[in-house]
């Protein structure tokens, strides 16, 4: 089915005679731009349908940082929702206050939402928590991703509730999900590993991840095809994270052993199904301070904020 063009050294699309723009090694497929776009859009639709991520009449809040993943997510959901009746989208951008990074992506987010004619709201850390991430992190940079992750989740859930949304969609891709599995294993955090595979219990609004089976590389190529590719700065805090090392390691493994990331996620599903009956995360209760649902006395946000007091 596949044929390499002897002159260019580039391969031909597995479905037509055009040049391939991407090689999907785990599926042994080479696809041209048109066939890749069609294939990816169909796979996202299928993920959404099979996991009942969207129902008729839903209002979906979409986390839109303005970076690659969330840009692709909004472009794709804008198409996917047309298969349903009465579904509306509301894009949400969280401005954490990261100098030299977030400004550009916020501009990008505003432009995209306007181009697609989608309602858009921006919430900021200073307005929700009293200070920017940069201010919170002075001298505590090594905790950046943990602190930011907890506060961002809360900010998104709050904004999604304000928007009257039934669900919150985030741009987590295959690489992110595989990294999370491995990180939880490396930290010995089994409860979290299991919790990540199911519904989010920490907040009221169920979260959906329509790009969970799409790789970082596929998202980049999709954005190029859609003319939505933009070179944006990297978050200055990522170099402090365990995730950065896990990311490099997994990319190498995926290259050497195609399908590694999908198998890693499958192992989480299998493990979670085996443990379904036993309770690894404790019963759901309500935070003593803010009343949010959580698995301990205080929710993550209320436990965290005192340690960041300026
Ligand atoms: Zn083709
Ligand atoms: Zn709380």
How many angstroms separate the most distant Cα atoms in the chain? Answer: 69
The closest ligand to the CA of 22 turns out to be: 1
DSSP state of 235: P
Q: What percent of the chain has pLDDT over 70?
A: 92
pLDDT given for residue 173 in this prediction: 96
Give yes or no for a contact between 154 and 293, defined as CB atoms under 8 angstroms apart: no
Give the environment of ion ligand 2: residues with CB less than 5 A. 287, 289-290, 292, 299, 302
pLDDT given for residue 6 in this prediction: 43
pLDDT given for residue 254 in this prediction: 95
Q: How far is the CA of 3 from the centre of ligand 2 (A)?
A: 58
User: Which one, of 147, 143, 110, lies nearest residue 132 by Cα?
Assistant: 147
pLDDT given for residue 1 in this prediction: 43
- Give 14-69 pLDDT, tens digit per residue: 999 999 999 999 899 999 999 999 999 999 999 999 999 999 999 999 999 999 99
11 has a pLDDT exceeding 50? yes
Q: How far is the CA of 266 from the centre of ligand 1 (A)?
A: 30
pLDDT given for residue 103 in this prediction: 86
**Residues comprising the chain, all counted:** 310
CA distance 16 to 53: 33
Cβ neighbourhood burial of 270 (10 Å; 0-12, 13-18, 19+): exposed
223 has a pLDDT exceeding 80? yes
Q: How far is the CA of 195 from the centre of ligand 2 (A)?
A: 19
Minimum mean pLDDT range among 38-52, 198-212, 249-263: 198-212
Q: What percent of the chain has pLDDT over 90?
A: 66
pLDDT given for residue 7 in this prediction: 42
The closest ligand to the CA of 17 turns out to be: 1
Give the environment of ion ligand 1: residues with CB less than 5 A. 13, 15-16, 18, 32, 35
CA distance 71 to 93: 11
Q: How far is the CA of 287 from the centre of ligand 2 (A)?
A: 5
Range 115-135 average pLDDT:
95
Q: How far is the CA of 290 from the centre of ligand 2 (A)?
A: 4
Count of alpha carbons within 13 angstroms of residue 243, beta-carbon side: 19
The closest ligand to the CA of 36 turns out to be: 1
Range 304-309 average pLDDT:
87
Q: DSSP H helical segments within the chain, as ranges?
A: 33-50, 68-80, 102-116, 125-129, 133-137, 144-162, 174-186, 190-197, 216-225, 242-256, 260-274, 300-304
The closest ligand to the CA of 11 turns out to be: 1
Minimum mean pLDDT range among 209-213, 224-228, 281-285: 281-285
Cβ neighbourhood burial of 145 (10 Å; 0-12, 13-18, 19+): middle
Range 216-232 average pLDDT:
93
pLDDT given for residue 279 in this prediction: 55
CA distance 26 to 4: 18
pLDDT band at 4, cuts 50/70/90?
Answer: very low
CA distance 4 to 6: 6
Q: How far is the CA of 1 from the centre of ligand 1 (A)?
A: 12
- Give 158-199 pLDDT, tens digit per residue: 999 999 999 999 999 999 999 999 999 998 988 888 777 665
pLDDT given for residue 146 in this prediction: 85
CA distance 134 to 96: 8
């Amino acid at each position: 089915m596949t044929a390499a063009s002897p002159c260019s050294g580039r391969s031909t699309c597995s479905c037509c005679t055009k040049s391939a723009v991407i090689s999907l090694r785990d599926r042994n497929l080479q696809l041209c731009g048109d066939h890749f776009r069609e294939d990816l859009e169909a796979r996202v639709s299928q993920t959404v349908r099979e996991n009942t991520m969207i129902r008729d009449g839903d209002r979906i809040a979409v986390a839109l940082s303005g970076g690659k993943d969330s840009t692709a997510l909004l472009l794709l959901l804008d198409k996917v929702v047309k298969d349903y009746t009465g579904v509306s989208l509301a894009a949400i951008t969280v401005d954490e206050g990261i100098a030299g990074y977030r400004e550009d992506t916020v501009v990008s987010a505003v432009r995209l939402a306007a181009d697609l004619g989608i309602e858009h709201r921006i919430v900021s850390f200073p307005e929700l928590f009293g200070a920017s991430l940069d201010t919170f992190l002075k001298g505590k940079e090594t905790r950046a991703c943990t602190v930011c992750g907890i506060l961002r989740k809360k900010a998104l859930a709050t904004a999604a509730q304000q928007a009257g949304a039934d669900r919150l969609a985030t741009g987590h891709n295959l690489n992110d999900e595989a990294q999370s599995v491995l990180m939880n294993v490396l930290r010995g955090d089994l409860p979290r590993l299991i919790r990540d595979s199911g519904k989010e219990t920490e907040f009221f609004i169920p979260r959906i991840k329509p790009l969970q089976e799409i790789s970082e590389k596929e998202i980049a190529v999709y954005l190029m095809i859609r003319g939505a590719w933009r070179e944006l700065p990297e978050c200055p805090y990522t170099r402090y994270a365990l995730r950065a090392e896990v990311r490099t390691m997994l990319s190498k493994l995926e290259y050497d052993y195609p399908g590694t990331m999908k198998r890693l996620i499958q192992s989480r599903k299998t493990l979670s199904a085996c443990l379904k009956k036993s309770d690894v995360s404790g019963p759901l209760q309500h935070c003593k301070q803010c009343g949010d649902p959580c698995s301990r006395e205080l929710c993550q946000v209320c436990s965290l904020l005192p340690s960041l007091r300026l």
